[in-house]
Amino acid sequence: MIIYAVLVVIFSYLIGSVNFAVIFSKVFMKKDVRNIGSGNAGTTNIMRNGGFVPGALTFLCDALKGFVASFAGKVVFDYILGNTDAAWALPIYGAYICGLACMLGHVFPVFFRFKGGKGVATSVGIFAVCSPVAIVLGLTVFAIVTLTSKYVSVASVTAAVTVVVCSLIFRVSDAPIIPEIVMSVAMGLIVILKHIENIKRIIAGTESKIGDKKNG
């Protein structure tokens, strides 16, 4: 049965590697988003430099792939659980494992020379499966911080911390919590670490705010 788990994890990484910011920037702008603005292959950069439509499509598709990967993991692990007594074969673990694989694919996409995005939108889809309440609270915090600070990067990091903490409070399973802590924190750290340069620019006073077209 472990072969099914391996296959769904590989599938999750590969679907994560489909970077929609790169795809839509080439479709709408005839450019690679990684070569313009901040160089980040994500929603903020393409929206700043390409407009609302490609930005919105990027966010929706990146979130969708996270949801699909996480949900697929949940379903496959549930099937495995029905045929084995393995302690690791719990649906919630499948959702987290495949979600993490998808996020790694997004950040390090095999199809785009391992240069991807920061995982914010993808994590929305992942946690929509793993902890719906956490993602609602995280999106609320994101909106509030964005409106008050005008820094999307600050909002992203703050929302990531919120989602990680809330996902461990508002759990959808009574499975042993340690694996969930490890994987949830890992995904949160990915988002935070990918924003290190943004944090440095905020400290230096050079980070772009909403309306600017310099960094993302």
pLDDT tens sequence across 21-66: 999 999 999 999 999 988 899 998 999 899 999 999 999 999 999 9
Task: Output the pLDDT for position 16.
Answer: 97
Task: Output the pLDDT for position 212.
Answer: 61
CA distance 207 to 186: 25
Question: Is residue 87 included in any domain, yes or no?
Answer: yes
Question: Is residue 210 included in any domain, yes or no?
Answer: no
Task: Output the pLDDT for position 211.
Answer: 65
CA distance 100 to 8: 12
CA distance 73 to 163: 20
% residues pLDDT > 90 (the chain): 79
Question: Is residue 216 included in any domain, yes or no?
Answer: no
| Total tally of structural domains belonging to the chain | 1
Question: Is residue 60 included in any domain, yes or no?
Answer: yes
Residues contacting 14, CB < 8 A, separation 6+: 105, 110
Question: Is residue 41 included in any domain, yes or no?
Answer: yes
Tell me if 84 sits within 8 A of 144, measured CB to CB: no
pLDDT tens sequence across 119-167: 999 999 999 999 999 999 999 999 999 999 999 999 999 999 999 999 9
Question: Is residue 47 included in any domain, yes or no?
Answer: yes
Range of the domain at 118: 2-204
The first and second tokens of residue 118, run together, are: 């920061």
CA distance 10 to 71: 14
Question: Is residue 213 included in any domain, yes or no?
Answer: no
pLDDT tens sequence across 64-113: 999 999 999 999 999 887 777 777 779 999 999 999 999 999 999 999 98
DSSP code per residue over 83-98: T---TT--HHHHHHHH
Question: Is residue 214 included in any domain, yes or no?
Answer: no
CA-to-CA separations, 105 to 54, 116, 130, 209, in angstroms, rounded: 21, 8, 18, 28
**Which of left, alpha, beta for 41 (phi over 0: left; psi -120 to 50: alpha)?**
beta
